[in-house]
Chain A
Amino acid sequence: MPKLTIDDREIEVAGGTKVIEAAARLGIMIPRFCYHPALGSVGACRVCAVKVLEGPVKGVQMSCMLDAADGMQVSTTDREAVEFRRYVIEWLMMNHPHDCPVCDEGGHCLLQDMTVSGGHGIRRFPGKKRTYPDQDLGPLVQHEMNRCIHCYRCTRFYQQFCGYRDLGALSIGNRTYFGRVASGRLESPFSGNLSDICPTGVFTDKPSRYFGRRWDYQRTPTICINCSLGCHAVTSVRYRQVARQEARMSAAVNGWFLCDRGRYGFFYASLPGRPRQAAVKGETTTMDEAIAHARSRLETLPPDAIAVNGSARSSLEVLAMTERAARLKGWRGPAFFADAGAAHNVKTAIARLEEGLAVSLGEIGQADFILVVGADPINEAPMLALALRQAVQKGAGILVLDPRPVCLPFGFMHVPTAPEALGAVLGRLVKKSIGPAGLDGPAARFYASLPDEPATGQEVLARAAGLLAASRRPVIVCGTGIVASALVGLAADAALLLTAAQKKAGLFYILPEANSFASGLLAPPESTTDRILKAVVDGDVKALVFVENDPFATSPDRELLERALAKVELLVVLDYLDTPVSRRAHVFLPTQTLYESGGIFINQEGRAQYSAAAFAGGAPILETGGSDHPPRVYGTGLPGADPQPAGQIMAQLAGEPMASEIGARPEYFGGSTVSELAELPDVEAFPEEGQRLSPKNLPADRFKSVLPPSSAAESDELEIILTERTFGSEDLSSYSACLETREDEPLAGLHRRDAESLGIREGDGIAIRTGNTTLEFAVRVYDNMASGVMVVPRLQRLPWQGLGKRVRRQDIRKA
């Protein structure tokens, strides 16, 4: 632990700490442009110069490149260093356009700060300024190259950190250009971070362009709910409109960055068409009247004839109150899952995330071997792909077992495996990588139950087994979207077995939605939306309540849904989205988004995190202000502020005593049957990195996984794998217009063998006939996917619900 002196103050830091970081620990902010904690030191901008008075090297040195050493004496205020830094600023400002008044970075611009604090006010350089043409980089990032100070953060982030190649440094000298070879949409799903890391206004947030200065915004720490990872964000609101989101540093979860789905997934909150008024039979009314109407209608029905559906995009408060209302009133449900398969997968995952086994997203980057089973990280949880890449950069090996043509921004091994064979391959791999020695009891029995390596082992698997055998901190990442629940349990047992083999093994699940964990905790075992819909069709259920749930987006059986909705006598919908089911509601009750109510979300590793309310609600001023400039409203009320937190509405529908305030814990969770929730702290006292929940007792089914028999028989059917895409699948972000162009073409993926046997070539259109509908796709032919399956993107705009689970080969025709 070297002890050094910076500006006459002593500090002891860990070995390998750079002087710039050591100074930061003392509260001394040494100027920096190229240095970024996530991107490391490269010594390009030279603005972090300090004078080393005593130490291994003396004189003016770059503090980002210099390891703190024992006895070192550093001055950040030495005249020589200050003079040099002054010149660096002057050089950087030679060509800068000084367009701060119209630059979106103005006000939170590092260059602005450094220029002012460095005392550079008057331009001495008598020459002309260099100018560059800008590029159209797509709908998310605005390009203004003239402002560039060439710190190389963008290309280092884009290429080294993320692994994408379409943006980088071009040309040399002071003509160096950061952009693409030609204008075009940025390919990386992490491109929005460019706006965050650029120290000036070269890359700025395009959707919020010209909307506000940093100080104009109400900025609130929030949690992203566009997938199950629960990344940390900062939400900016102005004029009652959510305008922008940035990444918020979290060591445990997302690090410094955020994916584009999360960054731009907020537009649903301020959409002009967002329903903000209660309605009964299509006629708008007050909240009180609508609630009273719904309540009186519900009271005429036997409790058993009322069924409640919620969804995992609701906060824990909403889910808990929904569950509580249903339980106390004796209503059916609540159903938080579309069908038993989805519910079972999530519940299994929750039960198996025992203490010591569960790893956080932040810990993924420290793993030395990662086995990804039945998961497609870049599409299901984009930031996971970035974490995996950081592990790869540090030397970790990655094996993906998945039927889909998984594509990731780094080198990895992929064994395309049919869904039913995933368990067998996983078991075989883990067995091969460890020996039976040292195992006893259940671990030994489980080991023995795993299949042995077949005579014709794949070379890739053998290589992966070798890496897994040599690893010390392996992690198993398991998806819950396309796999059988047996695999979810098997992944946990495989991780336990690695632990029994003296490895510090970790387990990481991807769950389907932001609050799937809480949904899984609270959902009664037998309640699923499909069962409830059947009960409606059977006449057992007369009233349906949908709480922030759009069955048209989630229910795989569109026909059943239509029949149920046609038959149901009372349809009550609580939502903040304009959905097909809310439009058909008999009673519609507008709810608040997370940005208005705040709320707790539990991410896929069981980390309960509180997302604070970003503003008080109400319709955006741009909507209500009559296009005044500046927009203004005359009146005392907040227009469009009828929506209430869905939990509050549920309490009123149930006639339960009201919670004192949203987020006040005991009212919501006190009666909960889930003991884990009772331990949650008050929202005011929520830790920055949240609180991890884990099962109170060790899971009963440890080492009890049984491999499902795998049938290798050629089938005359293709299994349909509906797969999530980074953009266009997730419910909330599909309301963001700026992400529309990021969506993939809806292509059906087929293995070359299957395509050939069907006489289909790449680019061909196919028509799939299932039931009485016909769906058309263009086909993409892959070699790196399993055969016997057809991969179809589950895009919101695609009527995938008609496809079913399997399709007969003879029902596939060339279109």
Chain B
Amino acid sequence: MTLANYPQVLFQNRRPDRIATLEEYRASGGYQALAEVVGRRSPREVQELVLDAALLGRGGAAFPAGRKMMTIAADAPFPRYLVCNADEMEPGTFKDRVLIHADPHMLIEGIAITAWAVRAEKAAIFIRPEYENAARILEREIRIAAAAGYLGRAILGSDFSLEIVVHRSAGRYICGEVTAQLNALMGQRPNPKQPPPYATEKGLWDQPTLAHNVETLACLPHIVRNGAEWFKKLALTPTGAGTKIFGVSGKVKRPGCYELPIGVPLSEIIEEYAGGMLEGSEFKACLPGGASTGFLPRQHYHVEMDFDALKKVGNRLGTGAIMVFDHKTCLVAATLNLMEFFARESCGWCTPCREGLPYIRDLLARIEAGEGEPEFVPMLEEMKTHLFRSYCAFAPGAAAPLESLLAHFKEEIQKHIREKSCPFKKEPEPGVAGLAKPRFIA
């Protein structure tokens, strides 16, 4: 590994065998930033600092974190809430789990600083239930941090108090959508809720609520300690700022989580850090930022992994979860696999998502099973467009892989239809075997 080429910020205390302790975190400068801001720097100053650092939300939507903080007005009512989104369910994404397992206090400090920046005195970490270990780690380390005076009443002698609760999700993908997540936190059915009002105005129990991703929050202590300019310069591209944790999976030799500067070329990630493609595999495409980004075809193999650069090639950096596919992988099957997930996880609120996704799944399953018809392609194209007219961002996200499949790999689809079988399979399976059986509730 040649990670030493780049500074390790979020992973600076990461070890192969265990999580970093409070002492280790402190030894690396931990909680200095908190001491620096709480009671000393005004919330507004912190917000401006984050804005200057050009920190973009790491949960996938890439909204400027500073701007989101600033939408909580100075005279907004109290209590205010902070929600840390640790409901990491985007397929292929595992950065938040690794981060929590590496250095939980970095997140805790990030939460405390952000809470100060909006004067929220209660924070919730909304965590997916499969992350039970991470939840327990957080609960334990929150107690340790409180005992050390970094949380609880009158933090570090200031008049600021903060309580953090760890809330386990009931475990559905849609709970990662922030408005659905707030509903879930309130014990309601987690359907998304279109603004207005925005959560920062009326969120949890109609109070101002700020929600950020784990990785976003973990950046806060470093920005406060080292300044906005330093943070911006971490990136390799002028449009980027900071580092990013890339989770590489698929047909590579060393799948894993790598902290690299924003703007690092995709080819470098795959070849240098992920150990290159598996023996006998050639790069065909990848999903650059989780399941709700499109397939990035081979012609963009050297793209700079920056929010802006990926936008320019019609894709998104998303969560930075890179799923690599080789030339032996059927992308119709891969898309079908993703559609199975999205069709299953739709919350069921709006029609395009609830009914359109199973429809698309069905057509893809038929194509993959060799039962596709030529008219399926225009149907897929039309339905893909209509998915963008759904209630929340779920269906547009689900449409992204399909959209790119149609844009870059249409010939592969048509080959399935022409040959009445999957060209990647040696023996075509008879019937629509790939179709998931409908599930009923008793």
Contact = CB atoms under 8 A, between A and B. Distances in A.
B349 interface: yes
Contact of A171 (B194, B358, B386, B441): B441
19 contacts: A43-B391, A45-B350, A46-B390, A65-B194, A83-B382, A87-B383, A88-B351, A91-B352, A91-B354, A124-B379, A126-B362, A127-B435, A131-B438, A131-B440, A132-B441, A133-B440, A169-B189, A172-B345, A174-B343
Contacts of B189: 168-169
Given A91-B356, A132-B441, 12 more contacts: A44-B349, A44-B391, A49-B389, A84-B389, A87-B356, A128-B438, A133-B440, A150-B348, A172-B174, A173-B343, A173-B346, A176-B354
What 7 A-B pairs are tightest by C-beta distance, nearest first?
Answer: A176-B348, A91-B355, A127-B362, A173-B346, A172-B348, A46-B351, A173-B348
Nearest to B347: A172
Residue among A46, A83, A128, A177 with the highest chain B CB neighbour number at 10 A: A46
Nearest to A49: B389
B366 interface: yes
Given A65-B194, A91-B356, A171-B441, A43 B344 contact: no
A65 B344 CA distance: 27
A92 interface: yes
Interface string A58-102: 001000010000000000000000011001100110110000000
Interface in A380-428: none
A174 B358 contact: yes
A170 interface: yes
B194 A87 contact: no
Contacts of A176: 348, 354
Contacts of B359: 91, 94, 125, 127
B426 interface: no
A88 B189 CA distance: 24
A214 interface: no
B352 A46 contact: yes
B168 interface: no
A172 to B, nearest CB: 5
Given A87-B356, A132-B441, A133-B440, A172 B391 contact: no
A47 interface: yes
Contacts of A47: 351
B354 A174 contact: yes
B1 interface: no
Nearest to A46: B351
B435 A43 contact: no
A126 B366 contact: yes
Interface in B294-336: none
B420 to A, nearest CB: 15
A132 B391 CA distance: 25
Given A91-B351, A150-B348, A175 B366 contact: no
B74 interface: no
A172 B366 contact: no
Interface residues of B, number: 34
B172 interface: yes
A168 B391 CA distance: 20
Given A126-B362, A150-B348, A152-B349, A175 B343 contact: no
A83 B378 CA distance: 13
Contacts of B4: none
A36 interface: no
B168 to A, nearest CB: 18
A132 B349 CA distance: 18
A569 B24 CA distance: 104
A175 B351 contact: no
A792 B202 CA distance: 45
Given A60-B389, A92-B355, A131-B440, A173 B349 contact: no
Given A130-B438, A168-B189, A173 B351 contact: no
Interface string A108-138: 0000000000000000111110111100000
Contacts of B441: 132-133, 170-171, 175, 177
Contacts of A174: 343, 346, 348, 354-355, 358
A93 B239 CA distance: 47
B442 to A, nearest CB: 7
B439 A46 contact: no
A58 to B, nearest CB: 13
A516 B172 CA distance: 55
From DSSP, what is the main secondary structure of chain A's interface residues?
Answer: loop
A128 to B, nearest CB: 7
Contact of A44 (B174, B351, B362, B438): B351
A329 B331 CA distance: 96
Contacts of B172: 172
Contacts of B362: 125-127
A44 B349 CA distance: 6
Given A46-B350, A92-B351, A172-B347, A133 B442 contact: yes
Contacts of B389: 46, 49, 60, 84
Nearest to B356: A91
Contact of B351 (A45, A65, A131, A168): A45
Nearest to B435: A127
Interface string A134-175: 000000000000000110100000000000000011111111
B175 to A, nearest CB: 10
Contacts of B439: 175
Nearest to A155: B189
Contacts of B382: 83, 87
A84 B386 contact: yes
Nearest to A149: B351
B244 to A, nearest CB: 31
Contacts of A60: 389
B174 to A, nearest CB: 7
Nearest to B373: A126
Contacts of A49: 389
Given A43-B194, A44-B391, A133-B442, A87 B386 contact: yes
A687 B231 CA distance: 73
A171 B348 contact: yes
A595 B348 CA distance: 44
Contact of B354 (A133, A150, A170): A150
A173 B344 contact: yes
A44 B347 contact: no
B355 A44 contact: no
Contacts of B352: 46, 87-88, 91
A92 B355 CA distance: 7
B122 to A, nearest CB: 23
Nearest to B442: A133
Contacts of A131: 438, 440
Contacts of A83: 382
Interface string B412-442: 0000000000000000000000010011111
A128 B362 CA distance: 9
A40 to B, nearest CB: 13
Nearest to B342: A173
Contacts of B174: 172
A168 B438 CA distance: 21
A69 to B, nearest CB: 15
B347 A173 contact: yes
A145 B386 CA distance: 26
Contacts of A88: 351-352
Contact of A43 (B346, B350, B356): B350
Contact of B440 (A87, A91, A132): A132
B198 to A, nearest CB: 15
A373 to B, nearest CB: 31
Contacts of A177: 441
B358 to A, nearest CB: 5
A536 B366 CA distance: 87
B182 to A, nearest CB: 17
A3 B381 CA distance: 37
A173 B345 contact: yes
B94 to A, nearest CB: 23
A358 B355 CA distance: 50
